[in-house]
Amino acid sequence: MTSLFRAFPVALAGLCMLAGQAAVAGAARPVVVELYTSQGCNTCPPADALLGKLAQRADLIALSLPITYWDMLGWRDTLASDANTRRQKAYAEAMGHGGVYTPQIIVDGVVDVVGGRVASVEAAIDARRQSIEPTVVVADARNSEAAGAARVASIAIASSAAAPAPPAKLMQARVADPFVPVSVVENRQEMHIKIGAADGAQNATVWMFHIRSAVNVNIRAGENEGRTITYHNVVGDVRAVGVWKGDTLTLTLPRSAMAGLPHDGVAVIVQQGGYGHVIGAAYISRPEFAASR
């Protein structure tokens, strides 16, 4: 089982531009991978296993978001939430899809792929990683006839080592999203989220995800009856906690805001609009104020 409605693939559009413009990618940050899955979906277990492997990577924030619409098949997903379902449907609308499906992986809010297709998932992650590499490329094709070639400068912004000179010819440069630094500091009473500034007018949602690192489920009915599946980095709660408009933003969340939410990790994601490209992300495991499992 894969599709509830008709689903359309999304290409990695808008990642390249012609020379004569500049593209800036910020310092390295984790790429966000969201898996929409269900205990009632018989094609989901391979994707769940893949998400478990991705969750071990330091360069990713890999999240499992169980959805509710397959509950009609005879087994109610014990981890699913309406908030996860709404989030997936909002992505479908933002990406121009005709519907939702499982297993679906969305990479950094940019592209979606079928969650069980390992090569496609890795390719989407690699493409996104390349688009946010810490490099500035400036390509100027003006006066190319007189100069005999375009004048090109390349500057590495994340390293003190000089970047190698690019070839003297018309080049392509990636269009990169703005990089927004995100830090999360917590103690037993509260959490402090700090989001840095970036040039240009921005309008991004700050999302907070409460996560359980691993949950074993014995499925007793439905298409996966008799299976025991381990779900990794399960999102039990997702909420918007602020709006970032380009200036430095500090949010303080008291312990009372976490009451009744079993989790052992928190992810904070800054996302253009609400369901657009991810431009900043951070993750902490085992926060001191986390509720008991």
- Please report whether residue 137 resides in a domain: no
The residue count of the chain comes to 293
The CATH number for 94's domain is: 2.60.40.730
How confident is the model over 254-270, as pLDDT tens digits?
Answer: 987 777 678 899 999 99
- Please report whether residue 5 resides in a domain: no
- Please report whether residue 121 resides in a domain: yes
What global pTM score does this model have?
0.77
What residues make up the domain containing 107?
A: 17-132+177-285
Say if CB 26 and CB 132 are below 8 A apart. Answer: yes
Total domains in the fold of the chain: 1
Can you read off the two tokens belonging to residue 21? 């413009």
Q: Answer with the residue of higher pLDDT: 101 or 139.
A: 101
How confident is the model over 121-138, as pLDDT tens digits?
Answer: 999 999 999 988 754 333
- Please report whether residue 35 resides in a domain: yes
pLDDT at 153 over 50: no
Sign, CA dihedral 106-112-116-121, equals negative
Whole-angstrom distance, CA of residue 35 vs CA of residue 68: 14
How confident is the model over 87-98, as pLDDT tens digits?
Answer: 999 999 999 999
Q: Say which residue the tokens 């592209």 belong to.
A: 111
- Please report whether residue 237 resides in a domain: yes
Say which residues have a Cβ less than 8 Å from residue 192's Cβ, sequence separation at least 6: 184, 185, 186, 250, 251, 252, 253
- Please report whether residue 293 resides in a domain: no
- Please report whether residue 138 resides in a domain: no
pLDDT of residue 35: 98
pLDDT of residue 176: 62
Say if CB 107 and CB 33 are below 8 A apart. Answer: yes
Q: Which of 111-115, 165-169, 234-238 comes out lowest in average pLDDT?
A: 165-169
Say if CB 109 and CB 276 are below 8 A apart. Answer: yes
Average of per-residue pLDDT values in the chain: 79
233: left (phi over 0), alpha (psi -120 to 50) or beta: left
Distance of CA 65 to the CA centre of its chain: 12
pLDDT at 18 over 80: no
Say if CB 103 and CB 115 are below 8 A apart. Answer: yes
Give the pLDDT mean for 55-73: 96
Give the SS3 label for residue 83.
helix
- Please report whether residue 116 resides in a domain: yes
